[in-house]
């Protein structure tokens, strides 16, 4: 089995809408193409996508991935499975006030459900989906430690968490001799939001990658995975507008630099965004529903931006 932190296949396939907004046949086609193009990591969650499912519960995405794995006997050795726990509603309509959370019991039950739906023995990367301050952090860490000690979880990560809580979790994991969090999953794109705002759909107060989280990750060797890196296609699709939270003078200059880089290379602006993230060590998660979107993202991974291009792109904020 290859190194689970290998940068060989940097694009992550986001499967959030599989089984709900994306039908199973299309999901299978995307998964097949992803593997054909050398993709490795597939990202999902036990709560995907409860808001789009008539049952009001998640699980459809993991179920589709599990069926795909079962129908492709060689696929498990070629892909890595990343899933998240803690945000599934306790009953339809109860989120976010009432969700499974991150107690040791909830972690075990959620993990067992994910593993059953996925049809796998081991989860390669298990994420804490969002904070649970009603549960002592030590209990959460020890719940994860039980899974890594059994060898049924290889790595652990934190999504939508502030840096200080991740550091406390890492410290406790090290103190008990367990596997520490080594990955962040946060909302991140090329543009910066106005201070005090969050992009549409990001309900978590610490869900947008901040300079502090970025610095903390760099100092501690923590991977950063970025969700919604392409603003749902708004960089290239004229029918989609860039959300208002990104409208400020810095964005105007940044968009001009992006357009110039894309025009000079003859590629899409979204492809430059992905190449820019990869150049800065950020692993983008592609959540598209079409094969051409997937191909464009995989092509972007081959774009090596020059120092001059990066200086221009990094300049305005």
Q: Between helices 307-314 and 269-279, what is the axis angle to 10°?
A: 100
> What pLDDT sits at residue 192?
95
Sequence length of the chain is 317
Q: Quote the pLDDT of residue 238.
A: 92
pLDDT for res 2: 39
Q: Where are the domains of the chain?
A: 12-247+269-305
283-306: average pLDDT? 95
Residues linked to residue 282 through DSSP beta bridges, in sequence order: 224
Average pLDDT over residues 128-132: 97
pLDDT at 128: 98
CATH classification (class only), 12-247+269-305:
alpha beta
Q: Summarize pLDDT for 134-172 with one digit per residue, the tens.
A: 999 999 999 999 999 999 999 999 999 999 999 999 999
For residue 54, count CB atoms less than 10 angstroms from its CB and return exposed for 0-12, middle for 13-18, buried for 19 or more: exposed
| Cα 68 → chain centroid | 20
- Does position 317 have pLDDT exceeding 70, yes or no? no
DSSP H helices, the chain, are: 24-36, 60-71, 104-118, 137-149, 163-175, 211-220, 249-265, 269-279, 291-300, 307-314
Number of H helices, E strands in the chain: 10, 8
* Model confidence pLDDT, tens digit, residues 188-241: 999 999 988 999 989 999 999 999 999 999 999 999 999 999 999 999 999 999
Q: What is the pLDDT of residue 1?
A: 39
- Residue 27 has what pLDDT? 98
What is the C-alpha to C-alpha distance for residues 72 and 310, in angstroms, rounded to an integer?
A: 40
The mean pLDDT of 33-45, rounded to a whole number, is 96
* Residue 50, pLDDT above cutoff 70: yes
As a dihedral over the C-alpha atoms of residue 119, residue 120, residue 124, residue 127, rounded to 10 degrees, the angle is 40
pLDDT at residue 233, rounded to an integer? 94
Average confidence score pLDDT of the chain: 95
Characterize 198-213 residue by residue with b for buried, 16 or more Cβ atoms within 10 angstroms of its Cβ, and e for exposed: bbeebebebbbbeeeb
The pLDDT assigned to 231 comes to 96
C-alpha span between 286 and 229 (Å, rounded): 8
Q: Which of 222, 224, 232 is nearest to 208 (CA)?
A: 224
Residues 12-33: pLDDT tens digits?
A: 999 999 999 999 999 999 999 9
- In order of 100, 163, 171, 203, 205, the CA distances from 186 in angstroms are 20, 11, 21, 12, 11
């Amino acid at each position: 089995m290859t190194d689970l932190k290998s940068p060989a296949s940097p694009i992550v396939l986001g499967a959030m809408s599989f089984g709900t907004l994306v039908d199973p046949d299309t999901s299978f086609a995307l998964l097949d193409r992803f593997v054909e193009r050398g993709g490795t990591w597939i990202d999902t969650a036990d709560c995907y996508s409860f808001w789009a499912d008539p049952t009001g519960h998640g699980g459809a995405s993991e179920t589709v991935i599990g069926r795909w794995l079962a129908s492709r006997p060689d696929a498990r050795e070629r892909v890595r499975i990343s899933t998240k726990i803690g945000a599934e509603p306790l009953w339809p309509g109860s989120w976010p006030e009432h969700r499974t959370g991150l107690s040791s019991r909830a972690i075990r039950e959620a993990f067992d459900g994910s593993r059953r739906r996925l049809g796998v023995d081991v989860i390669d990367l298990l994420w804490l989906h969002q904070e649970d301050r009603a549960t002592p952090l030590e209990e959460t860490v020890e719940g994860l430690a039980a899974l890594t000690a059994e060898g049924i979880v290889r790595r652990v990560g934190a999504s939508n968490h502030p840096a200080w809580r991740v550091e406390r979790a890492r410290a406790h994991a090290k103190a008990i001799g367990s596997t520490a969090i080594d990955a962040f999953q946060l909302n991140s794109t090329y543009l910066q939001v106005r201070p005090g705002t969050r992009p549409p759909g990001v309900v978590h107060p610490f869900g947008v990658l901040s300079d502090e989280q970025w610095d903390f990750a760099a100092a501690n060797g923590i991977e950063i995975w970025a969700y919604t890196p392409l603003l749902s296609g708004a960089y290239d699709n004229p029918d989609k507008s860039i959300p208002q939270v990104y409208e400020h003078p810095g964005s105007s200059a940044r968009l001009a630099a992006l357009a110039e880089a894309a025009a000079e290379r003859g590629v899409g602006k979204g492809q430059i965004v992905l190449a820019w993230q990869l150049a800065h060590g950020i692993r983008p998660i592609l959540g598209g529903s079409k094969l051409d979107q997937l191909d464009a993202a995989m092509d972007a991974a081959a774009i090596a931006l020059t120092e001059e291009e990066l200086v221009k792109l990094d300049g305005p904020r």
